[in-house]
Structure 1
Amino acid sequence: MASAGLLAAGALHAVWVFSPWPLDSRAEYAAAVVGVEESQLPSRPLTLAVAGLLGVASWLVVTGARPANRLAASRLVRGGLWTICGVLSMRGLGDLVVSGFALGEAPAEFRHWDLLLYSPLCIVLGGLTGYVTARTWSRRISPRSQA
Protein backbone atom coordinates (compact mmCIF):
# COMPACT_ATOMS: atom_id res chain seq x y z
CA MET A 1 0.00 0.00 0.00
CA ALA A 2 2.82 2.43 0.83
CA SER A 3 4.51 1.79 -2.48
CA ALA A 4 1.27 2.27 -4.41
CA GLY A 5 0.50 5.49 -2.53
CA LEU A 6 3.98 6.89 -3.17
CA LEU A 7 3.81 5.89 -6.83
CA ALA A 8 0.39 7.54 -7.21
CA ALA A 9 1.66 10.72 -5.55
CA GLY A 10 4.66 10.69 -7.88
CA ALA A 11 2.42 10.25 -10.92
CA LEU A 12 0.22 13.11 -9.76
CA HIS A 13 3.26 15.36 -9.36
CA ALA A 14 4.35 14.40 -12.88
CA VAL A 15 0.90 15.41 -14.18
CA TRP A 16 1.20 18.73 -12.34
CA VAL A 17 4.32 19.56 -14.35
CA PHE A 18 2.05 19.97 -17.38
CA SER A 19 -1.47 20.47 -16.01
CA PRO A 20 -3.30 21.77 -12.91
CA TRP A 21 -5.56 18.70 -12.96
CA PRO A 22 -7.96 18.07 -11.24
CA LEU A 23 -8.41 21.84 -10.92
CA ASP A 24 -9.24 24.24 -13.73
CA SER A 25 -6.37 26.72 -13.51
CA ARG A 26 -2.83 27.11 -12.18
CA ALA A 27 -4.11 29.79 -9.77
CA GLU A 28 -6.62 27.33 -8.25
CA TYR A 29 -3.94 24.65 -8.12
CA ALA A 30 -1.52 27.04 -6.38
CA ALA A 31 -4.08 27.95 -3.72
CA ALA A 32 -5.55 24.50 -3.08
CA VAL A 33 -2.59 22.16 -3.51
CA VAL A 34 0.51 24.20 -2.72
CA GLY A 35 -0.93 26.96 -0.55
CA VAL A 36 0.76 29.85 -2.35
CA GLU A 37 0.07 32.48 -4.99
CA GLU A 38 0.47 31.35 -8.59
CA SER A 39 3.66 33.41 -8.92
CA GLN A 40 5.20 31.44 -6.03
CA LEU A 41 4.60 27.96 -7.45
CA PRO A 42 7.63 25.66 -7.47
CA SER A 43 9.30 25.40 -10.87
CA ARG A 44 8.39 22.61 -13.24
CA PRO A 45 11.84 20.98 -12.91
CA LEU A 46 11.46 21.01 -9.13
CA THR A 47 8.00 19.44 -9.37
CA LEU A 48 9.41 16.81 -11.73
CA ALA A 49 12.24 16.14 -9.27
CA VAL A 50 9.66 15.55 -6.51
CA ALA A 51 7.83 13.14 -8.84
CA GLY A 52 11.09 11.28 -9.43
CA LEU A 53 11.93 11.12 -5.72
CA LEU A 54 8.48 9.72 -4.99
CA GLY A 55 9.08 7.07 -7.67
CA VAL A 56 12.40 6.17 -6.04
CA ALA A 57 10.67 6.05 -2.65
CA SER A 58 8.08 3.66 -4.09
CA TRP A 59 10.86 1.43 -5.44
CA LEU A 60 12.64 1.45 -2.06
CA VAL A 61 9.46 0.35 -0.28
CA VAL A 62 8.89 -2.50 -2.75
CA THR A 63 12.54 -3.55 -2.47
CA GLY A 64 12.47 -3.42 1.33
CA ALA A 65 9.23 -5.40 1.51
CA ARG A 66 10.64 -8.38 -0.39
CA PRO A 67 12.53 -10.64 2.02
CA ALA A 68 14.15 -12.68 -0.75
CA ASN A 69 15.70 -9.59 -2.33
CA ARG A 70 19.30 -9.17 -1.19
CA LEU A 71 19.00 -5.41 -1.49
CA ALA A 72 16.19 -5.37 1.08
CA ALA A 73 18.61 -5.55 3.99
CA SER A 74 21.26 -3.27 2.50
CA ARG A 75 22.21 -0.09 4.32
CA LEU A 76 21.25 1.98 1.30
CA VAL A 77 17.70 0.63 1.20
CA ARG A 78 17.24 0.75 4.97
CA GLY A 79 18.64 4.28 5.13
CA GLY A 80 16.35 5.35 2.30
CA LEU A 81 13.36 3.79 4.03
CA TRP A 82 14.15 5.52 7.33
CA THR A 83 14.52 8.81 5.46
CA ILE A 84 11.17 8.37 3.69
CA CYS A 85 9.49 7.44 6.96
CA GLY A 86 10.97 10.45 8.73
CA VAL A 87 10.24 12.99 6.00
CA LEU A 88 6.65 11.87 5.53
CA SER A 89 5.99 11.68 9.26
CA MET A 90 7.48 15.14 9.84
CA ARG A 91 5.48 16.57 6.94
CA GLY A 92 2.24 15.07 8.22
CA LEU A 93 2.66 15.63 11.94
CA GLY A 94 4.42 18.97 11.54
CA ASP A 95 1.57 20.51 9.60
CA LEU A 96 -0.98 19.19 12.08
CA VAL A 97 1.00 20.58 15.03
CA VAL A 98 1.66 24.01 13.50
CA SER A 99 -1.62 24.30 11.61
CA GLY A 100 -2.82 27.05 13.92
CA PHE A 101 0.40 29.01 13.51
CA ALA A 102 2.22 28.70 10.19
CA LEU A 103 -0.74 27.66 8.08
CA GLY A 104 -2.75 30.67 9.25
CA GLU A 105 -1.33 32.62 6.31
CA ALA A 106 -2.07 29.90 3.75
CA PRO A 107 -5.25 30.06 1.67
CA ALA A 108 -8.30 28.60 3.40
CA GLU A 109 -8.74 25.97 0.71
CA PHE A 110 -5.18 24.72 1.24
CA ARG A 111 -5.64 24.60 5.04
CA HIS A 112 -8.83 22.60 4.53
CA TRP A 113 -7.23 20.03 2.24
CA ASP A 114 -4.02 19.90 4.24
CA LEU A 115 -5.85 18.99 7.44
CA LEU A 116 -8.32 16.70 5.71
CA LEU A 117 -6.09 14.88 3.22
CA TYR A 118 -2.43 15.90 2.75
CA SER A 119 -1.20 15.60 6.35
CA PRO A 120 -3.12 12.41 7.19
CA LEU A 121 -1.94 10.80 3.95
CA CYS A 122 1.67 11.65 4.78
CA ILE A 123 1.25 10.18 8.27
CA VAL A 124 -0.25 6.95 6.89
CA LEU A 125 2.43 6.59 4.19
CA GLY A 126 5.15 7.39 6.74
CA GLY A 127 3.73 4.79 9.14
CA LEU A 128 3.48 2.11 6.46
CA THR A 129 7.03 2.86 5.35
CA GLY A 130 8.14 2.67 8.97
CA TYR A 131 6.55 -0.77 9.22
CA VAL A 132 8.48 -1.98 6.16
CA THR A 133 11.63 -0.39 7.55
CA ALA A 134 11.26 -2.17 10.89
CA ARG A 135 10.77 -5.48 9.09
CA THR A 136 13.95 -5.00 7.02
CA TRP A 137 15.89 -4.28 10.22
CA SER A 138 14.93 -7.65 11.69
CA ARG A 139 16.03 -9.65 8.66
CA ARG A 140 19.39 -8.13 7.84
CA ILE A 141 21.54 -10.49 5.83
CA SER A 142 24.65 -11.48 7.76
CA PRO A 143 27.89 -12.26 5.89
CA ARG A 144 27.80 -15.83 7.24
CA SER A 145 24.35 -16.55 5.77
CA GLN A 146 25.53 -15.54 2.28
CA ALA A 147 28.22 -18.23 2.15
Structure 2
Amino acid sequence: MTHVFPISSAIFLVIVSLLHFYWAFGGKWGIDSVIPTTADHARRTFSPGKGGTIIVACLLACAGYILLAQSGYLSPVLSPSLIQWGCMVCAAVFVLRAVGDFNYIGFFKKVKNTKFARQDTALYTPLCLWLGLSFLLALF
Protein backbone atom coordinates (compact mmCIF):
# COMPACT_ATOMS: atom_id res chain seq x y z
CA MET A 1 0.00 0.00 0.00
CA THR A 2 2.86 2.39 0.72
CA HIS A 3 3.91 2.09 -2.93
CA VAL A 4 0.63 3.53 -4.18
CA PHE A 5 1.23 7.13 -3.11
CA PRO A 6 4.68 7.85 -4.56
CA ILE A 7 4.29 5.85 -7.74
CA SER A 8 0.81 7.10 -8.66
CA SER A 9 1.76 10.65 -7.74
CA ALA A 10 4.92 10.53 -9.85
CA ILE A 11 2.88 9.24 -12.79
CA PHE A 12 0.39 12.11 -12.35
CA LEU A 13 3.23 14.63 -12.16
CA VAL A 14 4.84 13.35 -15.36
CA ILE A 15 1.51 13.35 -17.21
CA VAL A 16 0.71 16.89 -16.09
CA SER A 17 4.25 17.97 -16.97
CA LEU A 18 3.84 16.57 -20.49
CA LEU A 19 0.48 18.33 -20.76
CA HIS A 20 2.13 21.64 -19.90
CA PHE A 21 4.78 21.07 -22.58
CA TYR A 22 1.95 20.31 -25.04
CA TRP A 23 0.25 23.61 -24.16
CA ALA A 24 3.52 25.54 -24.29
CA PHE A 25 4.09 24.42 -27.86
CA GLY A 26 0.63 25.31 -29.11
CA GLY A 27 -1.65 22.49 -28.00
CA LYS A 28 -5.28 23.48 -27.46
CA TRP A 29 -6.87 20.37 -25.92
CA GLY A 30 -8.24 21.14 -22.45
CA ILE A 31 -6.95 24.70 -22.44
CA ASP A 32 -10.43 26.19 -21.95
CA SER A 33 -10.83 24.72 -18.45
CA VAL A 34 -7.39 24.99 -16.87
CA ILE A 35 -7.16 28.74 -16.22
CA PRO A 36 -9.54 30.46 -13.79
CA THR A 37 -11.95 33.01 -15.20
CA THR A 38 -13.86 35.80 -13.52
CA ALA A 39 -17.32 35.05 -12.17
CA ASP A 40 -18.97 36.53 -15.27
CA HIS A 41 -16.74 34.39 -17.54
CA ALA A 42 -15.58 37.63 -19.19
CA ARG A 43 -11.84 37.15 -18.81
CA ARG A 44 -9.10 34.87 -17.53
CA THR A 45 -7.54 35.81 -14.22
CA PHE A 46 -4.08 35.46 -15.82
CA SER A 47 -2.57 34.53 -19.18
CA PRO A 48 0.50 32.31 -18.89
CA GLY A 49 3.19 32.69 -21.52
CA LYS A 50 5.18 29.98 -23.25
CA GLY A 51 8.21 30.45 -21.00
CA GLY A 52 6.22 30.27 -17.80
CA THR A 53 4.38 27.18 -18.98
CA ILE A 54 7.68 25.47 -19.82
CA ILE A 55 9.05 26.36 -16.38
CA VAL A 56 5.96 24.86 -14.72
CA ALA A 57 6.36 21.72 -16.87
CA CYS A 58 9.99 21.35 -15.80
CA LEU A 59 9.15 21.94 -12.13
CA LEU A 60 6.43 19.28 -12.25
CA ALA A 61 8.86 16.77 -13.77
CA CYS A 62 11.45 17.66 -11.11
CA ALA A 63 8.82 17.19 -8.41
CA GLY A 64 8.15 13.68 -9.74
CA TYR A 65 11.87 12.92 -9.59
CA ILE A 66 12.16 14.31 -6.04
CA LEU A 67 9.25 12.19 -4.87
CA LEU A 68 10.66 9.01 -6.37
CA ALA A 69 14.18 9.75 -5.07
CA GLN A 70 12.90 10.48 -1.56
CA SER A 71 10.85 7.26 -1.65
CA GLY A 72 13.87 5.22 -2.70
CA TYR A 73 12.69 4.32 -6.21
CA LEU A 74 15.38 6.39 -7.99
CA SER A 75 18.99 7.05 -7.10
CA PRO A 76 19.44 10.61 -5.89
CA VAL A 77 21.63 12.78 -8.12
CA LEU A 78 21.35 15.55 -5.55
CA SER A 79 22.34 15.38 -1.90
CA PRO A 80 19.79 13.56 0.30
CA SER A 81 19.24 16.72 2.34
CA LEU A 82 18.41 18.68 -0.83
CA ILE A 83 15.97 15.94 -1.90
CA GLN A 84 14.38 16.09 1.55
CA TRP A 85 14.06 19.88 1.45
CA GLY A 86 12.62 19.66 -2.07
CA CYS A 87 10.08 17.17 -0.79
CA MET A 88 9.07 19.54 2.02
CA VAL A 89 8.72 22.44 -0.42
CA CYS A 90 6.63 20.34 -2.81
CA ALA A 91 4.39 19.17 0.04
CA ALA A 92 3.83 22.78 1.10
CA VAL A 93 3.18 24.00 -2.46
CA PHE A 94 0.61 21.32 -3.23
CA VAL A 95 -1.20 21.58 0.12
CA LEU A 96 -1.32 25.38 -0.20
CA ARG A 97 -2.65 25.01 -3.76
CA ALA A 98 -5.38 22.72 -2.43
CA VAL A 99 -6.34 25.29 0.21
CA GLY A 100 -6.38 27.93 -2.51
CA ASP A 101 -6.49 31.68 -2.80
CA PHE A 102 -10.02 32.03 -1.36
CA ASN A 103 -11.25 33.55 -4.64
CA TYR A 104 -10.69 31.40 -7.73
CA ILE A 105 -8.85 28.21 -6.73
CA GLY A 106 -8.84 25.60 -3.98
CA PHE A 107 -11.29 24.20 -1.49
CA PHE A 108 -12.27 27.65 -0.19
CA LYS A 109 -12.83 29.51 -3.46
CA LYS A 110 -15.69 32.00 -3.77
CA VAL A 111 -16.18 31.79 -7.56
CA LYS A 112 -17.75 28.38 -8.10
CA ASN A 113 -19.85 28.59 -11.26
CA THR A 114 -17.23 28.69 -14.00
CA LYS A 115 -15.94 25.79 -16.06
CA PHE A 116 -12.57 26.04 -14.33
CA ALA A 117 -14.15 26.16 -10.86
CA ARG A 118 -16.11 22.96 -11.49
CA GLN A 119 -12.97 21.21 -12.79
CA ASP A 120 -11.00 22.58 -9.85
CA THR A 121 -13.48 21.20 -7.34
CA ALA A 122 -13.76 17.81 -9.02
CA LEU A 123 -10.19 17.22 -10.14
CA TYR A 124 -7.42 19.80 -9.63
CA THR A 125 -7.80 20.51 -5.91
CA PRO A 126 -8.22 16.86 -4.84
CA LEU A 127 -5.21 15.97 -7.00
CA CYS A 128 -3.13 18.68 -5.31
CA LEU A 129 -4.16 17.40 -1.88
CA TRP A 130 -3.22 13.84 -2.94
CA LEU A 131 0.16 15.08 -4.17
CA GLY A 132 0.78 17.07 -1.00
CA LEU A 133 0.01 14.02 1.13
CA SER A 134 2.26 11.88 -1.05
CA PHE A 135 5.19 14.21 -0.46
CA LEU A 136 4.47 14.31 3.29
CA LEU A 137 4.31 10.52 3.47
CA ALA A 138 7.58 10.23 1.55
CA LEU A 139 9.26 12.27 4.28
CA PHE A 140 8.34 9.75 6.98
Q: Same fold (TM over 0.5)?
A: yes
Q: Displacement, 1:73?
A: 7.3
Q: Does the 8 Å CA contact 1:35/1:107 hold for their aligned counterparts?
A: no
1:109-135 per-position Cα deviation (integer Å, ceiling 9, x unaligned): 11101111110000011111111122x
Match of residue 26 from structure 1: none
Judging changes above 3 Å, is the alpha-carbon distance between structure 1 residues 73 and 111 closer, same or farther for their aligned structure 2 residues?
same
Find the aligned partners of 1:10 and 1:16 in 2 and give their Cα distance: 10
Find the aligned partners of 1:113 and 1:48 in 2 and give their Cα distance: 22
Greater share of residues in helix? 1
1:76-121 per-position Cα deviation (integer Å, ceiling 9, x unaligned): 0000000001100110122102x12xxx2x7611110111111000
**Unmatched segments (≥5 aa) in structure 2:** 1-7, 38-42, 101-105
- State the TM-score, normalized to the length of structure 2: 0.77
Find the aligned partners of 1:66 and 1:3 in 2 and give their Cα distance: 13
Identity of aligned residues (%): 22
Q: Does the 8 Å CA contact 1:61/1:81 hold for their aligned counterparts?
A: yes
Find the aligned partners of 2:74 and 2:16 in 1 and give their Cα distance: 27
Q: Displacement, 1:52?
A: 0.3
Give the paired residue count.
Answer: 122
- State the TM-score, normalized to the length of structure 1: 0.73
Find the aligned partners of 2:21 and 2:127 in 1 and give their Cα distance: 18
Matched, 1:44 2:50: yes
Matched, 1:4 2:11: yes
Give the structure with higher Rg (CA). Answer: 1
**Unmatched segments (≥5 aa) in structure 1:** 23-28, 135-147
Q: Does the 8 Å CA contact 1:6/1:55 hold for their aligned counterparts?
A: yes
Find the aligned partners of 1:68 and 1:92 in 2 and give their Cα distance: 27
